[in-house]
Amino acid sequence: MTPTPAPSVAPAADASSDRFAIQCEVLRLSIRPIGPVLLVQYLLNCGVAALFAWQYSLARALVWIALITGVTVMRGFFPQRLPDPFTPESLRHAQRMHTLRTAVWELAHGLAGVLLFNPERPDQQLLLGLMLMGMTLSSAFSVSFYTPATQLAITLLLAPVIVTGLTLGAPTMMAVSVIGIGLTAMMWKLVAERSRQLEENIGLRLNERTLREQALAGLRASEQAQAERLRFFSAANHDLRQPVMAIGLQAEVLRQQLDTGADASAVQHTVVSLARAQQALEGLTNQLLEIGRIEAAVDPLRPVAVALAPLLQDLARQAGNGRVTVRCPAGAVAWTDAVSLRRVLANLVDNAVKFTPRGRVLLAVRARHRGTERAWRVEVRDSGIGIAADSQERVFNDFEQIGNAERNLQHGHGLGLAIVRRLAAQLGIEVSLRSAPGRGSVFGFELPAAQGYGAAALQQARPPQPSLEAAPALRPGLAVLVVEDNAVVADSLYALLRQWEVSPRVYASAAEALALADLRALDAALCDIRLPGALDGIALAERLQAQNPALTIALISADINEATQRLATERGWHALRKPVQPEELRGVLLRARQRP
């Protein structure tokens, strides 16, 4: 009698059927066999247990590795069996069982945060926290594709070390625990986004006949997003390790200076170096969190009338030294989100000041007319190093710095303009760039005109620092070559080696070291792998060994992979991953002392 509801019921039924099929496929992908990966994970866990058994407690390490062995046997030899075919009830039961198995698996790993936590050793606490955070980053992309299971797994993996760190940890570990809370929230967001993308791709594949082109486009977009995310995390990992390493080394220098009663000027220099490294770590952490908030759309846009002159004058005062000047009509009022606009301008001003060693930075505003509508053209002009035409698109990418090839932490991390790009996309504005090498740069964009004024303030926070333990003395005068292009890390290595009464020779590139150092008089060499110029650290190490076969050589990098480790073993070198712990460094130099 009522044929009209049929067309509306059919699409709803189709949508429900598609959703059911997608959930079934997600669960199948989540329990697929991962034998080789499982074996590698177990061997890595054995290595971690051996390390903490040696450094801390054999009994606790054995208890933990016994738990890991149990869950590994469960996952490897007793995989979950899925019903065939699925029904709605059997699917829900299978999802609950998969979530329970995943929770048991990750809780066993997470209990390392309690069993291997050494309340007496801040350095071991920090190592344990960083290792569990690394496990979290890998788990988010390997343990499951089912969102509730993955989010629960991440929580169970990090919660024990966070709670233990906040209750029993040193100040450094407490700061790491707070970062762990933020990492947990960020990973929840990333997992939900990844799962959403995966479900979209599955849906496209299930409707391949009618949506073939859309499915291919979605797959390409997903692969590109995944590759970009992996590149982002790889670059973030590299830049995070630099200040962490500097903090560890300078903390060791400070501890030994206090033990030996060093003069106030030496202690003050170490404290200043610690503060610089801490500020670099804080700045990078804040930028990473800001990017996470932007991409998660945590802060919704609230357009208001914003008076531009007071905003620009406030930014100029914050820049200090009178280097930033403002030229803006008193009546310039734009309609936009005040908080996002301030963040865009603050990053542009900061970028201009950093790369303008001499001269001034100008914040300029002028009126524009678009038909009957008025707009304001906002520009940040500097007289700095400038940017070549073929690099102007790249500067808005993550971790890209055209004028900072040596990755000097004082010049930032290459995220300021990446944040500007993301914020501009949210605001619906296009940031243009005019520049030429040696002639400065002009970044500009347009805002719709309005009447009225809105303002916003930004806040920042600062975390505290770590301390380490003593080690055996080295032979005074041991000649150590240090080739490190990062100024903060090089300074920290030099300070620590001088504190150990060895004789460091520090150079910023392979070419400089080969040209200036007396290679036959060296006892040991510490070579950063990523070096500016034609020769990297591996090529430098080969030349050093050819000229001085008895030389003890250590490769240092945040990107030590299996191939690099294998090469170092074959050549008789050492491979140290940043942040390098002072004990590792001392161990290399002690072996150098034993050579004839």
Convert 536-551 into a string of H (helix), E (strand) and C (coil).
CHHHHHHHHHHHCCCC
376 within 8 A of 446, measured Cβ to Cβ: yes
Q: Which residue has the tokens 């933020």?
A: 182
Strands of 574-577's sheet, edge to edge? Answer: 503-507, 479-483, 524-528, 552-557, 574-577
Radius of gyration of the chain (CA): 28
Per the DSSP assignment, residues forming a β-bridge with 446 are 377
Element (H, E) at 304: strand 303-307
Q: What are phi and psi of 377, to 5 degrees?
A: -90, 115
d(CA 525, CA 553): 5
d(CA 205, CA 201): 6
The pair of three-digit structure tokens given for residue 288, joined into one six-digit string:
């990473």
The pair of three-digit structure tokens given for residue 278, joined into one six-digit string:
């801490």
- What's the angle, vertex CA 391, arms to CA 386 and CA 395, rounded to 5? 80
* pTM passes above 0.75: no
d(CA 380, CA 356): 12
Q: How many CB atoms lie within 10 A of CB 480?
A: 25
Helix, strand, coil tally for the chain in percent (to 5): 60, 10, 25
User: Each residue of 340-360: b (16+ CB within 10 Å) or e?
Assistant: bbbbbbbbbbbbbbbbbeeee
Q: What are phi and psi of 369, to 5 degrees?
A: -120, 125
Per-residue pLDDT of the chain (596 residues; tens, 9 = 90+): 334 344 444 445 556 777 888 888 888 888 877 777 788 888 888 888 888 888 888 888 899 889 989 888 888 888 888 888 888 888 888 888 888 888 888 888 888 888 888 888 888 888 888 888 887 777 666 777 888 888 888 888 888 888 888 898 888 888 888 888 888 888 888 888 877 887 777 777 777 655 566 556 667 777 666 665 655 555 555 556 666 777 788 788 888 888 888 888 888 888 887 777 766 666 556 555 555 556 555 567 778 888 898 889 888 887 767 788 899 998 889 988 888 888 888 888 888 888 787 778 889 898 888 767 788 998 988 888 878 777 767 777 666 665 555 445 455 555 667 778 887 887 888 888 888 887 888 888 988 888 543 333 333 323 333 343 445 678 888 999 999 988 888 988 998 899 888 999 999 999 999 998 888 889 999 999 989 888 999 999 999 999 998 899 999 987 777 788 889 999 999 999 877 888 889 989 988 865 55
558 within 8 A of 241, measured Cβ to Cβ: yes
The pair of three-digit structure tokens given for residue 146, joined into one six-digit string:
């089912």
